[in-house]
Amino acid sequence: MTDLGDGTRCVRAGLPEPAPGDPFLPGPVLAAPYHLDPWQGPAASPNGYGRPDNPTRRLLEAAVGELEGGECRVFASGQAAITGMLLALLRPGDTVLLPSDGYFPVRSFATGVLETTGVRVVFVPTVGPYPSLDGVRLVLVETPANPGLDVVDVASLAEQAHAAGALLAVDNTTATPLGQRPLDLGADLVVASGTKALTGHSDLLLGYLASRNTELVEAVTLWRTTTGSVPGAFDAWLAHRSLATLDLRLARQSANAAAVADLLAARADVTGLRWPGRPDDPAYAVASAQMRRMPGVLSFDLGDADRVSRFVEAARLVAAATSFGGLHTTADRRAQWGDDTAPGFVRLSCGVEDTPDLVADIAAALDAAGEA
């Protein structure tokens, strides 16, 4: 379906062939064991036991795989997908490069678990500079980075990694496969949290990995099967249902982010604004060349924690919540979770509210919060 537009691909992704009397998307198959053939056992059917086998999960994997351009495996959460990839592919003595400005729980996992198993962990900012990759097994980047929104040139980094014999994995959570397709840019693996913009309704936890390398997919599949880090059938069904509106949701969220960024850029009481869609943003040159659309997430600083609280309390359309990519606009003061950001740093995730309403509400809330 690569010849079709984003909206059409999202609506059709992973659907079975139509049959009279069947729904467009079959309902979730809620099963732990399945009936087995008394003679052939599990060899007679694709479904033997619910941990490795579920038809609802396979339809979702087909859908996400179509959008990312690779073979997909879904996990119970984004963190499960990333940690599963790291543990499946890394061995004692290996070196892995991770983003020093990426998702904080991944960094915590690296220092708390990976290093204790004998894996050498090196932290590098998303935009570099990158050291020599000789002897490195895996490079993981998050672009745009969460929460700082820096962007790295994936194609250039892939070339550098492959020349040194390293694998490149890209966390595509913020962009989604409609924002960029890292496998097309040379990445070996894509990982992401489907909890956020991909499914976008703030009602499930999900992660996934995609690759065009069969050996890598098989290694991760074995890890998932033996550890049991699978999403439930109902969550998989909810996620697949939600994919149909991804194009529509991202269009409004991106438009809202552009308008809010313009508002914030004009205010003297807001500092540190980052949104890769603005021409004056440090990431704009790479992002505009590499990404097909900009995310609905931006970040800025209000000076201190109290002003952030006053801002959110005064807003009618901005909720205090973590995560991002949902239908409702949310503000997250990342420092409260132990992330190494400034006390007044805010990650704002724009929802799908009418743009004029959202801009007016944020402006009024900033006025009410006063200067720090």
pLDDT digits (tens, 9 = 90+) for 232-276: 999 999 999 999 999 999 999 999 999 999 999 999 999 999 999
- 199: which residues sit within 8 A by CB, 6+ positions away? 206, 238, 239, 242, 243
- Name the residue with tokens 């021409």: 279
Same fold yes or no, 6-243 and 247-369: no
Average pLDDT, the chain: 96
Cis peptide before 144 (omega within 30 of 0): yes
Q: Is the pLDDT of residue 112 over 80?
A: yes
**Confidence band, pLDDT 50/70/90 cuts, at residue 314:** very high
CA–CA separation, 237 and 127 (whole Å): 37
Q: What is the mean pLDDT of residues 226-234?
A: 96
Q: Is the pLDDT of residue 372 over 70?
A: no
- Name the residue with tokens 């807001």: 270
Report the DSSP beta bridge partners of residue 82: none
- What is the CATH T-level fold of the domain 247-369, as seen in this structure? Aspartate Aminotransferase, domain 1 (3.90.1150)
- Cα dihedral 336, 85, 195, 304 in deg (nearest 10): 20
Pairing of the two strands 319-320 and 330-332 = parallel
Q: Is the pLDDT of residue 371 over 90?
A: no
Q: What is the mean pLDDT of residues 347-362?
A: 98
**Tokens encoding 207:** 């992660």
CA–CA separation, 158 and 187 (whole Å): 6
Give the other-Cβ count within 10 Å of 129's Cβ: 6
Pairing of the two strands 189-193 and 207-211 = antiparallel
Supply the pLDDT for residue 284: 98
* DSSP codes joined into one string, 130-159: ----TT--EEEEESS-TTT-----HHHHHH
CA–CA separation, 119 and 39 (whole Å): 46
Q: C-alpha angle 19/25/28, rounded to 5°?
A: 120
> Could you tell me the residue ranges of all domains in the chain?
6-243, 247-369
**Domain 6-243 classification at class level:** alpha beta
Q: C-alpha angle 182/188/193, rounded to 5°?
A: 60
Q: Is the pLDDT of residue 339 over 90?
A: no
Supply the pLDDT for residue 338: 85
Give the other-Cβ count within 10 Å of 343's Cβ: 17
Supply the pLDDT for residue 1: 63
